[in-house]
Structures are given as C-alpha cells and as structure tokens.
Structure 1
Amino acid sequence: MREKILLNDDWRLLVNPPETAIPVSKAAMYLSAKTERLKWGPGAYRHNDVPGFWDLEQELPAEPWEKVDLPHDYIIRQAPDPNEAGALGFFHYVPAWYRRHFTLAPEDANRRLTLYFEGINGISELYLNGCFLKRSTSSYVPFEVDITDLARFDHENVIAVYTDPRSFEGWWYAGGGIHRNVWLVKTAPLAVDLWGVFVPVRKETETSWRVPVEVTLRNIGYEAEEASLRCEILAPGGGKAGEILLSGTVPARDTATLRGETRVDSPLLWDLDAPHLYTLKVTVRRKDGETCDMVEQRFGFREIEMTPDRGLFLNGRHVKIKGVCAHQDFGLTGKAVPDNLCRYRVSLFREMGANAFRASHYPHPEATMEACDEQGLLVLNETRRYESNEEAVAQLEALVRRDRNHPSVFLWSTGNEEMAYHGMEQGHRIHRALEHVIRLLDPTRPVTTAITNVPDASVYAISEVIGVNYNLDQLDDLHRRFPEKPFVSSENCAVGSTRGWYWGDSPERGYMDARDFNPGPGTFQLFGRERTWKFFMERPWISGGFQWDAIEHRGEAIWPRLCSCSGALDLFLLKKEAFYQNQSHWLERPMIHLLPHWSHPGFEGMPVSVWAYTNCDEAELFLNGVSLGRKRVEKYLHVEWQVPYTPGKLEAVGYLDGLRAAGDVRETAGPGVKLALKLENGPVAAGGNEIALFTCSVLDAEGREVPDASPLVRFDCSGAGTILGTGSDNTDPVPVPSLDRRMYAGKIAVALCPGKADATGTAKATLIARSESLRSAYLPVEFPAPAEK
C-alpha cells in the first residue's frame, strides 16, 4: 500500500561550493559519461559530506558541510548589504549543494518509488547515487521524480541537489535552498498517479449535484493491468454520501484515466463561514482482487458565478471580494515557511476580515492552499510565466492539476503585469494558449490575466474576466467598453506604512507614516485603502479587489528599509494600523480602532493627529473623560481630531443608531520595568517541522505595554528548542539569526523551532528574554508530539 514519508530532517548543506577540479584522465572522463555521471564533487555518491569529519586515517574534506532540516533558506542568514540589489532584499546570492542519506527495505524493491519536491529555489539539478534525475527551472512549481530504477536496497541511497538561486524569477526576495517539503512516496506498481484524482462537481438542480470523477492510474509494470476502483464520497462527518465503481485496463508502462459519475442530494456547501469539505476515497484493486492503492482527495460543493453587472456570487449569495495579495516569504525564515506558519498566515488574513487571497505571482505552498479551503478563503490562483513554451506550459499544467480540486480556487490567472505582451498580438496568442491548457484540465473555472498598462493593453478584449492592477481612474471607461465582461481589481492599494511610526514619512530612516494616504493623480494606484474600498462599493459591477499586500515582503526595497512596506502586517507578522483599517471595511461586527498610541513624553501641548478607523456611523473621542467631539463617519472613511498631547487616557467610542456599539482605549504608559513573552501561534508540534512564533514586549509597573520601548534584548532557549531568528525593525541590518535584537515600537518577534518529543510525548523548552535595567522574562512551553497522519 501507499506510504508517503516526510524527508525534511537530517540534510547536509554546502553553501557556495568551491569550483570542483575536473580530472583529465581518460578513465575519469569515460566513467563520468555513464549512468552514474557524477564521479567527483559534492554530487558524487561517495562524496564525504560529514559535518565536522574527524579521522586520522583518511583525507579530511576541506568543505564546511553543516546539518540542516527542511524547509530551508540559506540566504536569509546573511547580513543585508546596501551594495546588493534592493529588489532582491540586499542579499548576495550564491549556489549550494544539499545531500541526504536514506535506506530502503528489501521489500521496497517491488514498489514504485518517487521523490516529491514541493519547491526548490532557482534552477536546480537532482541526482540519486550520482545518477541524474531532473533539472527544474522554477522555484515554486512542485514536481515528482521516479527513482524506482536507480534505488539501492543493499546499500544506502544518497540524494544530491544542486540549487542556484541566481536565475531571479521575480523582482522580490528570491531566497535560496530547498524551501518546501520533500517526500519519499512508495506505491505498488499499479497506483493512482500524482494529482490523479479530479472531482469537478456541478450543481444540477436546487438540491441535486452531479459528481463526475476522473482517476488517472499509472502502471510501471511491463504487462497491462486490469484495475477496479471503488470511489467513496465521504461527508465532513465521515458518513458515506455516495459511491462510484469503475474498471478498466492500464497499458504497460503507461497511464489510463477512468471516468464515472454519480449524484449527491442536498450536500453541505463549502462557503466562507462554513467551509465544509468532502473526501473522495479511491481504493484500487488488481484483477486478482488484491488492494494495491488507496488515496483520499478533498473537495467541496460550491457554486461560483462572476457576472458583468452585479459582481461575484457564491452559492447564489452576493459576495464582494475583500482580498489580499502576498508573497511566500516570512521575515524570520525567508522563503522557508513551514506548514504551520502557512496556516497561521491565513488565519491572520481571516482575522483581518479578508475573504479572498491572490496567490501572487506563482504557485503557493500546498499548506497555504489547504488552509484556504479549511478556513474559507477564496483564491485567485496564478502561474509564474506568461509564456507558451513547453516548459511554461508544463509548469501551468502542474499548478492546475495540483489545485483544481480546491473549492477555494475560483479564478485562474495566466500572468501578471506583462506590460509589453498584454498589448501585442503575440501576447494574445500566449493568453489563448494558456487559457486552452487550463480549460482542458479544468473546465469549471473562469480565467483572467492581471493587466496594469490599461491604455496600451488589449488582451482584455479576449479575457473572460478582466483583471486590472491599480488604474482605478480608468475602470469606468473600460467597463463602458466591455459591459459584457466581469471585472476584478486583481491588485490595488500599494500604500506603504511603517508599524508604530506616526511622524510623517522619513525616507532617511526608511519609515513611512502609519496612517493611510492617497497617492493622488498621476500615480498608478491613485487611492489609499479607504478611497479604494469606497470606489469598489460604489460600483456593483466590480467583483472586488486584492490589496497589495497582506504582509510586508523582503525585496522591492530602498535602503535602509529592507522590504516593501505596503503590508497590513509587518515583515514579522506584527499587526500594523492598516490591519485594523481593513477590519473597519470588511468586518460586520461593530469595531473602532484608535491611533496613534498615547505615550509621547516630552511632547506635551504638541498637536497630534488622532484617527479612528470604524464601521460605526458615529465616533466620539474622550481625553481623560472629557469629550473632544462626536463626529459623523462617512462610510468607509476615517474620522480624525487634532489633539494637543496631554498624558492620560484617550478613548474612542463608536455608535450605531445612536447607541454605543464599540470602544477602544489608548493609555499613557509609564517607564518600562519588565519584559513579557507571548506565544502567538500555538499549539505547535514538536519534531522540528513546525515553528513557534513569540512576541516580546515591555510592560510598565501597571502591566501596560510600553508602545515606544526600544531596549536591546538578549534571547536564549533552554531545553528542546532552537531560536531560528529575531526581528523588530524592518530597517535593522543585523542578521536574522542574531539572538540579540534592538526592540522597535515596543515589540520583537522570535521564531523558535521545537525539538523532538521525549518519553512523555512532549518537547519542553523555555524561551528567555533579558535586557539591562528591565526585569527578565521566561516562558516555558510544552510542544506535543505531532499527530499521526
């Protein structure tokens, strides 16, 4: 039966390897031209990759191999350098080798064996036991390599991966390394193929749904195989909702797709606030009745319609897209974002009020897609290359096959901001070709492409859905020209801001004011967040839009700032004012958020611009119990007061229909006296495949957070855990792995990787924070052993 084994632990890494001398003897050249082509260098089967190797009898390797676990990014460990490219995060990019040793049992000799890589940075080459497997040219597209013929059962096996991130697929931080999961998959010779199950459900009547099923089988044997399949539809609670029986012949060394259909009455629908997921359980039997494979594929029942005049409808209900874009990287781990942090990021999007996510500008991790299904977030899914060559088409096919069962995916995108080719006939041909590929694999969803140069583009004439980045001032005219087409703002509102900075833009410091602003005419984006959302809400034909972006990302930076600062969350997943502004637009529950903080010693009497973000219809501000005025709130806009700074208690109250509905308070903090630690994303599993994210803050004698605290804090971990990185200020060039970090705006983020569980079933670790003149803090945490899958 099928086994899927995670191979994330115990890899060996060599960064920026020296150029390997090439032997000139005939024997060396002759033997390296055979199946085992790597006979020397870091990719060779018998190469010495032992970190800290010590032996008196053998030659000692000069290479500095080190032990690492995946997912991994070796570039993020560097100190940013202003002489390097700001678009790529001010890092110096170099290649590396990864190696991993593993053994196989003798009984595995009768199975199909594959390695499944979810993502490797840049251009990579893969070898098993010195034999070439595959060359990959995408950082973001997963792939499988068959190692059945090359695997050894009498000796250990060695995977060698050469990765070179200098291909630079984008204008953002690229990272370096094997930045997603790696799996060893063992199946019978006859088994379901990779991404071989497709369940394109369709609504037939008000209560009845068609459930077509496609199952692709692969047979690596040298004789044709008769196969029978039982496809069971399991409801969210586990009960059986239907069954399909299929049978067919799979040719030798080939694949075959078997198709069938049934109906399900009144299923639980997948929706934003009730994301019900069904499972198709496929059991494969050979002609002799032996069960040889079993896979489970999740899917959902939901109906999506994008209309040209009323926007988007989900299950017959009108939904305005409240979307965000995001890159994959995280400030403390680079491109290597473990699955639990992918899920945590999605939970923050939902907390912010978002109901949609644009996977910009490439296939995102599988854990992110699964989290969108589980937490009820619509997804605009996008391929990286706007090209119709063989390689780009193969990458698009992989994306669609991988993600076409996700009920969260409602729209495909063939590319982003192809400013030349979106206006050329050649670009039209590319879009048609890519759209055709998508429709062959998934006829159930519409297709768009994200356009930014509206005056010069013409591809929207052949696009099923018109997707426009920014350029809001041109959308009305474009809609008049194409009234028959649905519209979506595929990207908007790249308004920069800095967490905790309220003193106007300061390019010299790398800071931008935390408040929203309108860039104004003459810019590609025109409006800030509130004017953008007001624009969408006043136009029912716009399905909604996707903000750039949810999280600050490394790259697209101007020194001394190390990242783009357009996010509603900062580089370290700390909430910015824009997070709460989005809540005021997107949440239905009454809320009000007050800014800035109210701890400004030395500025007594200076006028301070006080803002409130709220979805209430009136707001009132109080200072030390005295009203400073009650104001009507124009829908989707903020209210503000000019207040001479006086220490004390600043309170905002929101009213609906004249009644108090929400409140928020800012209170002047005293001098900091102690540090405090908080785990943000628990529970976190032991074992090294998840990351715990902590926040360190400073409290005064009354237990209030000090919002402008800036001490130097030293972090340590005792017990079963390793601190991976710390971060606070997105202009701080101190390398991420540093255990000593200067606090900025009252908070530091800390990433900790729990160790293995002990005999009690937990890994116990204690995070320690110390700073001069402040009382130290410690936080013991027990991380449970990971649940068995």
Structure 2
Amino acid sequence: MVRFFFIFLLVVDAAIGMTQSSQRKRVNFDEDWRFHFGNAADPTKDFNYRIAPIFAKSGATTNTALGVGFKDSSWRQLDLPHDWAVELPFVNSPNFDVMAHGYKPVGGLFPETSVGWYRKHFTIARKDSGQRFSVTFDGIFRDANIWVNGFYLGNNQSGYIGVTYDITDYINYGRDNVIAVRADASQYEGWFYEGAGIYRHVWLNSYNNTHVANDGIFASAEVKGNAATVSIETTIENQGQGTSACTVQTYVTERNGKVVAQSNEQPLTLLTIESKAVTQQVAVSQPHLWSLEDPYLYRVVTIIKQNGKVIDRVQHRFGIRTIDIKWNGVFLNGKHVKIKGTNNHQDHAGIGSALPDAMQYYRVRLLKELGSNSYRVSHNAPTPELLDACDSLGMLVIDEQRLLNSSPEYVYQLERIIKRDRNHPSVFLWSIGNEEGWIQTTTIGKRIAQSLLLKQKEWDPTRTSTYAADLPNVFNGVNEVIPVRGFNYRDSFVAAYHKDHPMQPIIGTEMGSTVTTRGIYEVDTARAYVPDQDITSPWWASTAEEWWTEAAVNDYWLGGYVWTGFDYRGEPTPYQWPNVNSHFGVMDVCGFPKNIYYYYQSWWTDKDVLHLSPHWNWKGKEGQLIDVWVNSNADNVELFLNGKSLGKKDMPRNKHLQWSVRYKPGVLEAVAYKKGKKLTSKVETTGAPVAIILKADRNSLLADNQDATVVNVSVVDQQGREVPDAGNQIQFSLAGSGKIIGVGNGDPSSHEPDKYFNGAWKRQLFNGKCQVIIQAGKEKSPIQLEAKSEGLKPAVVYFQQEIL
C-alpha cells in the first residue's frame, strides 16, 4: 500500500501580494521584445557569437548583441510567448528527426533557422535600488544562454524547466537595461514537435533582501475526521549585507478572504547570505476538500515582518485532500477513482507551443467534457498555467521528469520540477522517466531510479512515483524499485504481471493509440489518412476497446492514459509526408472530436451518449454498403433509414454497435433507451453549404494583451444543417484592438500556414471545420471577427473586452 495525506498549494504568482508594505512584485515581462534569427553554422550571421571574446572579461560585450548599446531597432518586435518553429514553412526532408518534429526546418541540418536571439529593454527607477531583483523564464526551447546588461547569467539546457536568476548586481537604475537571450534549438530533446524560442512567460520579480526563497514554500496536511492539520514549511533567505531579525507568520483564508486559521509570529534571525526553513502548523476545522467534482481552493498567506512592518508577503491558492494509492485503486478523499486519463504534448493548432494561458483552460475543459479525470504530461515538465487549469477545473496530473538520469544536470532539473510543482493539488504522482530502452532493464537503470526516488522523497515525501515502461511482464531494472508500475502498451501482460506482483499498484501510462483522421472513412495512402473509427493501431499498441474492456473491470488496473487526448505535431503514424502531425488523438489538433471521442465519453461519463457515424453524404455510393457505428452507453439501440427499421441490438458494456447499411440519401437515425429514457441521434444527407457559422468559446475577454478565445468555424446548408464534408476556404478579418494569433483545421496533411504576417488570414475547412484563435488587446473596446468565403453568406462574431 502507498498512502499519503496531502494539502497542496497552487502557486499563482499573479496573486502574490502587491501592497506597498510587502515590497514584493511579480511583473509580467512578455511585452515588447526584439527577435532575430542567428545562425548555428556561420558566426558572422550569428552576431559574431563564438568569435567575439565575450567570456574573456566580465561584461565585455559592449559591441555585441549581448550589450546595452547594441542597435536592435531593425529586429522584429513581438510579444511573448513566442514559438518561431510554428512560423516556419514545412519542408519535405528525408531526415527522420524533421519528420518526427512536424517537418519544420529546425535542428542540426537547418542552422539558419535553429538559433534565435531575443532582446528586452526595461527601466528600473532609482527609488527601487534598495530592492532585490530577479528574472524568471518559465520555458525556453532550448539551450538558452542569458545575459543582463552584457553580464552573463547562465545557461539553461532544459527546453521545459524554468529558471530564475538574481540580476540585482547588474541593474542600471534610472537608465536603459537589456536582457539578451540566445536560444539554440539545434539539438532536440524529444522525438516530437517541441517548438523553438521563449515560448512561455517571463517575469520580473522584486522583493526585500529578507524574503521567501524562490519556490520556498511547501505545505502538507494530515486530515483526520473533520479537521486538517496544515504544516507549512517556508524557506527564508537573507541576501542583505548584515544580520536580519524578522518574524514569520502564516494564515489560511477562504476564497472570500475570511481567515480560517493562522499561526503565531515566529521570530527568526538570519546571518548574511543565510537561509533557514521554518515549519508552522495551523488547524483547519471542517475543511472543504479538493476533489474532481468540487476543486475547492483556499488561500495560504505567508508574511515576513521586520520591526513590526511587513517586508514580504506571498499568497497562494491551495487545496486540501487525501490520496491513497493501493494495488486495487486510487482513492481521492477515501473515494475510489478509476483513472481515465489522456497523454498530451503541449502544442495546439495555429500557435504551436506558445499557448496563451486561456488555451490551457480551454484544452482541459475539453478533456473534462470527454470524461477524462487525469492528465499525463508527456514527456516534459508542464507550464505552470497548465497545472493552474487542472487545479481549478479538477483534473489529476502525472508530472513527468524528462529523462531517467541521475547526473547533476538532470537531478537539478528534477529538483526544479518538484519544488515548483509539489504544491499543486492536481499533481498526484511523479514520473521519473519514459521508455528508456537502453537502460530500463539494467542494473544501471535500477541504480539511477533508486537515486531519483530518494531525491523525490527528499523534496516531496507526500507523493510517490511511477515510470512509463514499454515492457511486458518484466521485473528487472527500474521495475524492481519503482513504487507504481507503469505500462506503456503491452496491456495483454498486465494480468500476468499483477499475478506475479499482486501488491504493486499498476497504471497504464500509455494505452490505446488508435490512429484516426477526423471525418475520413477509408484508407487514403495518397493523402495519408486513416479511417475515423476504432480499427487501426500500430503493432506496438491496441485499439480503445482492447485496452479499456480490460482496465474497466479489473481493480488491479488503477486506470490508464490514452495515447493521446489531442493530435500533435510530428510523429506521423502510420505514414510520413505529406502527414505533418500524428493521428493518435481522441481529438484533432484543434480539439474537434473524432468518433473515438464518443466511445470514451460513453464509458467514462454518466452522460446520455448516443453518437452515430459516419455522416450521410455519400453521393456516388448509392446502393453500396456503408459501415455504420453507434457509440452509446444506452441499454439498446435501434437503427432506422428513412423511417425503416434496420434492426435493434443490445449495447455490450464498454463496446460499440455496428450495422452494414446500403446507402440511400435521406436520414439515418438511431433510437435508444437508457433506463427507460429515450435517446435519439441522426445524420442527414445535406445540401451544398450556403452560410458560415462562427461559434466562440466565449465572447468576453480581459483587455490585458494576454487573454484569448477560440472560434470554431463550420458551414450549413439551406436548411441550417452542418455540412460535414465541406472544404471551403474561409478568409478572416479582425476589427478592434485584438489580434488573430493562429488558424488550423485538424487536417494532418495540411501544409497551409498557421500564421499570416500580411494580415490576410485564411484557412480551408477540413471535413467541415476550421478554427481561429483570437487574442485580446489592451483597450476596453469591442472586437469584431468576420469570416467570408466565395459563394457563402458571411458571419460575424463580437467580443467585449473588459479592464479589471
């Protein structure tokens, strides 16, 4: 048995106290950067990098792109997050890595588009010279060297783990300051699309010399009956020139700010350049537990005072819950939860890896609607905002380390992941690696795993770990020491493994891998499409029904994670070019459901599901047999064509129903009964499209230059019926202070641009659908999106922008 009691803090840095007395500020630093390509092969095209002696003397960078005086006015102006890879054209290169990375010209064979330079000018007032300052990069892909005012700060090898640097010593107060970043994406970390550039947020932090350390708060709780004892460990640093005497106090509030528990002020004395950890306990009576259905988040506030004055104040959201991981299930607050998860990479149609925060919430909501309750971050540390979304919406997370490696570099990466993310209530399990085929069955792999597990327990004793092994009933190597056995595929061996190791929890870290193309119903090798039904899977994988029928009914399966929730760029299977992204998703790269979506929704939710496929537009196939699928959780289903019954069938548990129907235009209808309740669903033969329909995820935006929304596009015929096989090209124009940041359509073989820099935004419908993503501006004024297409009635949608 693996048993833990938790309280978790979701670090929401935007919520950090901004009062003057606290002196702590966290300022979003995403706006107004300058960007220019370098060159990995030609130093003269790389601003003389590797030629100029920039490391010979500290700060000796005056006449280079690293210094303050360098003229960057001709560089491209942009806001972060920024992924330059998604902006590049597709290239049909035989190089395997390019194929795996979505046929984008990034990597060792493309030196001219694999290095990017960024510069940011900023000013800090002289009155703030008594503060400390640091800069945080949430994610740069990759191999990033960073300077401030020509002084080298450091190198961050990871393309996924953020890094924070103290820049206090290098600031020119009251004058121009410059951050310079050289990101080199020549070397990959994965075998899938990873993007390139500063694709996550950047923050400027300021605080007192005596302050809470970066990621310096860790809270846990023991829940007994109707009370929780909250233990909060806070690391305090003194970076001043003398001894610092202060007090530390922590209190917990409801959402509305009402204090429900607080500690006493604890005195603390710190010598120069000293840090100490302080542990305080508070009692919360009748705690409102965080759960999947009710993800309630408290606030915890830590205050440091000096001479009675607040000098630092840090506020977090947090959730109280318990987790029990046994051989026969995951128990959240004592309730058994079968894990119904999806694996996901981090890119989305139109925007690559540079997702606005709102897109994280959008994607998690889509997964919740599917019926998923857990998200495996595969295979990289997530952006903090993804975990924020999972905390807020109620989604459990497996948080994964990039590589099974115990070298100082990778141990440091693991430390940064755990300390940054350990306070999120959504994170219930760590993963120390994925499919390390060279070492996972060796004594070396075992020793590395043991070292990483010890470190995990040091930094987070409240959780345990898994490892995603693509192995059958094998117990040597990593599996000998991993607390929770992860299975990547090989699902037919799970029963035998459990029989041999009955007390070890087992979870399907990667399952399924059915390949489907939305709206396609035949194999098309020319365009590289596969049918949109649960019938095709690679040799190493299985269909949805093959794995879920086993996992659903056996308690020794904790559950599993489908490969994948969304299609993603790169790794096209079973084809290569012209495919530029995968077919694995339950949804496509836009988040449009495929038919397999309704299989999982049928058995992962209590919703009334009755889904009929394919569409019924088959001109030229009159009299030919059409394979009709019904996905439902009803008791029985009867199928009708133009009012004539084609038979009634009972719905087998965790499966689907099929009919072979001779095509005749008209209406194909399914009628089902679920516990006596009648359900109906139909597909109709439609006419030609006559009008565009725009459906926005939401129509109100925060005018902060960051907020975003999704607009899904379809077309309808004269009778208002959506035309499922339409391929019209749609042109978009935007009026107002917002902007379009990406377009997509879910076609895995489309080579249309995701970005347009001349304002002429457009996208072709793929099987009746496409998508446009809108980002807010800074003005409290309406935004108008208009969509046009030759021969179709245009459509307009409006968005209101609000200022807090």
Q: Same fold (TM over 0.5)?
A: yes
Structure 1 position 71 matched with structure 2 position 81: yes
Structure 1 position 543 matched with structure 2 position 558: yes
- 1:57 maps to none
- 2:318 maps to 299
Answer 1 or 2: higher relative contact order, Cα 8 Å, separation at least 6. 2
Structure 1 position 100 matched with structure 2 position 120: yes
Q: How does 1:634-783 map to 2 (within 5 A)?
A: 634-657=652-675, 659-728=676-745, 729-738=747-756, 739-757=761-779, 761-762=780-781, 764-783=782-801
Q: 1:207 deviation in Å?
A: 2.1
Q: 1:241 deviation in Å?
A: 1.8
- 1:19 maps to 43
Counterpart CA distance in 2 for 1:449 and 1:341 is 28
User: Is 1:419–1:453's contact at 8 Å kept on the other side of the alignment?
Assistant: no
- 1:524 maps to 540
Structure 1 position 216 matched with structure 2 position 232: no
State which of 469, 482, 497 in structure 2 corresponds to 1:478.
Answer: 497
Structure 1 position 604 matched with structure 2 position 631: no
- 1:508 maps to 526
Q: Which amino acid aligns with 2:68?
A: Y
Q: How does 1:260-275 map to 2 (within 5 A)?
A: 260-275=280-295
State which of 159, 179, 198 in structure 2 corresponds to 1:178.
Answer: 198
- 1:247 maps to 267
**SS of 2:440's equivalent?**
helix
Counterpart CA distance in 2 for 1:701 and 1:123 is 55
User: 1:782/1:21 Cα in 2 relative to 1: closer, same or farther (>3 Å)?
Assistant: closer
Q: 1:640 deviation in Å?
A: 1.1
- 1:45 maps to 68
User: Is 1:691–1:752's contact at 8 Å kept on the other side of the alignment?
Assistant: yes
- 1:159 maps to 179
- 2:351 maps to 333
Counterpart CA distance in 2 for 1:243 and 1:690 is 35
- 2:130 maps to 110
**SS of 2:467's equivalent?**
strand
State which of 648, 651, 656 in structure 2 corresponds to 1:633.
Answer: 651
**SS of 1:480's equivalent?**
helix
Q: Which amino acid aligns with 1:536?
A: A
Q: 1:456 deviation in Å?
A: 5.7
State which of 417, 431, 448 in structure 1 corresponds to 2:435.
Answer: 417
State which of 64, 86, 89 in structure 1 corresponds to 2:102.
Answer: 89
Q: 1:661 deviation in Å?
A: 4.0
Q: Which amino acid aligns with 1:697?
A: S
Structure 2: state its 5+ residue gaps. Answer: 1-22, 107-113
Alignment: residue pair count: 758
Counterpart CA distance in 2 for 1:717 and 1:330 is 21
Counterpart CA distance in 1 for 2:494 and 2:678 is 36
Q: How does 1:574-593 map to 2 (within 5 A)?
A: 574-593=592-611
User: Is 1:357–1:378's contact at 8 Å kept on the other side of the alignment?
Assistant: yes
Q: 1:43 deviation in Å?
A: 1.8
User: 1:265/1:219 Cα in 2 relative to 1: closer, same or farther (>3 Å)?
Assistant: same
**SS of 2:44's equivalent?**
coil
User: Is 1:372–1:378's contact at 8 Å kept on the other side of the alignment?
Assistant: yes
Counterpart CA distance in 1 for 2:357 and 2:46 is 41
Counterpart CA distance in 2 for 1:607 and 1:734 is 34
Q: Which amino acid aligns with 2:43?
A: E
Q: 1:21 deviation in Å?
A: 8.1
State which of 571, 581, 584 in structure 2 corresponds to 1:556.
Answer: 571
Counterpart CA distance in 1 for 2:61 and 2:566 is 42
Counterpart CA distance in 2 for 1:304 and 1:741 is 46
Q: Which amino acid aligns with 1:87?
A: A
TM-score by length of 2: 0.92
Q: Which amino acid aligns with 2:76?
A: E
- 1:59 maps to none
Q: Among the aligned pairs, what percent are the same residue?
A: 33
Counterpart CA distance in 1 for 2:642 and 2:512 is 36
Q: How does 1:417-496 map to 2 (within 5 A)?
A: 417-454=435-472, 458=476, 459-496=478-515
Q: 1:351 deviation in Å?
A: 0.7
User: 1:278/1:687 Cα in 2 relative to 1: closer, same or farther (>3 Å)?
Assistant: closer
User: 1:645/1:285 Cα in 2 relative to 1: closer, same or farther (>3 Å)?
Assistant: same
Counterpart CA distance in 2 for 1:679 and 1:251 is 56
Q: Which amino acid aligns with 2:246?
A: A
Q: 1:627 deviation in Å?
A: 2.1
**SS of 2:661's equivalent?**
strand
User: 1:783/1:623 Cα in 2 relative to 1: closer, same or farther (>3 Å)?
Assistant: farther
Counterpart CA distance in 2 for 1:119 and 1:598 is 46
Q: Which amino acid aligns with 1:108?
A: D
User: Is 2:250–2:280's contact at 8 Å kept on the other side of the alignment?
Assistant: no
User: Is 1:89–1:173's contact at 8 Å kept on the other side of the alignment?
Assistant: yes
State which of 52, 57, 66 in structure 2 corresponds to 1:34.
Answer: 57
Q: 1:206 deviation in Å?
A: 1.9
User: 1:469/1:32 Cα in 2 relative to 1: closer, same or farther (>3 Å)?
Assistant: closer
Q: 1:415 deviation in Å?
A: 0.4
Q: 1:553 deviation in Å?
A: 0.7
